[in-house]
Amino acid sequence: MSKTKHTSETPATHWLRQQKIPFGEHPYDYVDHGGAREAARQLGLDPHQVAKTLVMEDEHARPLVVVMHGDCEVSTKNLARQTGVKKIAPCTPDTAQRHSGYQVGGTSPFATRKRMPVWIEETLMAYPAIYVNGGRRGYLISVAPDALARALGAQPVRVALGHDEE
């Protein structure tokens, strides 16, 4: 076993190990409201390669997950159109936690309490690895985006706002 800094197992890392999906561990000092940008700053990463995991819901309160660049926002209007629903909005923190099983600021797309459809910003797929939350505040994991998409059945969408309006 390696002596690298290790954060104790989370539902996400347990699930990834069960699925035999390789991942790297990247602990950092969690800062309230720092988000993906703060994690990227501390770890010396490109904030565009650090992804945030957002729990949203459609007009029927059906939850879904969006994996988005940490330095971009989601166009909910474009997301609704591309996913075939009328309206999508972010969940309240309590609702997001109820659906995902994770504390806001520590939401991972892996091993969510409720199985939800996952949508990934298509431009994240160009990276050899992306950094997503590992299921705990202050803990990112690096994973190949194609492995994430395959494992979660994530569908690509182009809904990023910001960062040069890709």
CATH number at residue 96: 3.90.960.10
What's the pLDDT score for residue 7?
A: 58
Average pLDDT over residues 136-151: 97
Q: Are strands 118-121 and 155-157 parallel, antiparallel or unpaired?
A: parallel
Number of domains in the chain: 1
What's the pLDDT score for residue 17?
A: 96
**Token pair recorded at residue 91:** 């969940």
Please indicate, yes or no, if residue 9 is contained in any of the structural domains. no
Separation CA 166–CA 163 (nearest Å): 7
What's the pLDDT score for residue 6?
A: 52
Q: Is the four-CA dihedral 113, 119, 123, 125 of positive or negative sign?
A: positive
Please indicate, yes or no, if residue 19 is contained in any of the structural domains. no
Please indicate, yes or no, if residue 155 is contained in any of the structural domains. yes
Please indicate, yes or no, if residue 56 is contained in any of the structural domains. yes
Among residues 2, 4, 30, 3, the alpha carbon closest in space to that of 134 is found at: 30
pLDDT band at 165 (very low <50, low <70, confident <90, very high): very low
**Token pair recorded at residue 143:** 């994973």
pLDDT band at 110 (very low <50, low <70, confident <90, very high): very high
Please indicate, yes or no, if residue 157 is contained in any of the structural domains. yes
Among residues 72, 30, 32, the alpha carbon closest in space to that of 51 is found at: 72
Mean pLDDT taken over the chain: 93
pLDDT band at 163 (very low <50, low <70, confident <90, very high): low
pLDDT band at 9 (very low <50, low <70, confident <90, very high): very high
For the chain, the first-to-last Cα distance in angstroms comes to 42
Which of the 8 DSSP states describes residue 126? G
Please indicate, yes or no, if residue 152 is contained in any of the structural domains. yes
pLDDT band at 137 (very low <50, low <70, confident <90, very high): very high
Please indicate, yes or no, if residue 4 is contained in any of the structural domains. no
Q: What is the pLDDT of residues 48-87, one digit of tens each?
A: 999 999 999 999 999 999 999 999 999 999 999 999 999 9
What's the pLDDT score for residue 150?
A: 97
Domain around 120: 24-161
Please indicate, yes or no, if residue 7 is contained in any of the structural domains. no
How far are the Cα atoms of 15, 21, 120, 136, 166 from residue 113, in angstroms, in the given order? 12, 19, 19, 14, 32
Among residues 84, 79, 77, 57, the alpha carbon closest in space to that of 68 is found at: 79
Share of the chain above pLDDT 90, in %: 91
**Token pair recorded at residue 28:** 């950092």
Q: Does 5 have pLDDT greater than 90?
A: no
pLDDT band at 162 (very low <50, low <70, confident <90, very high): confident
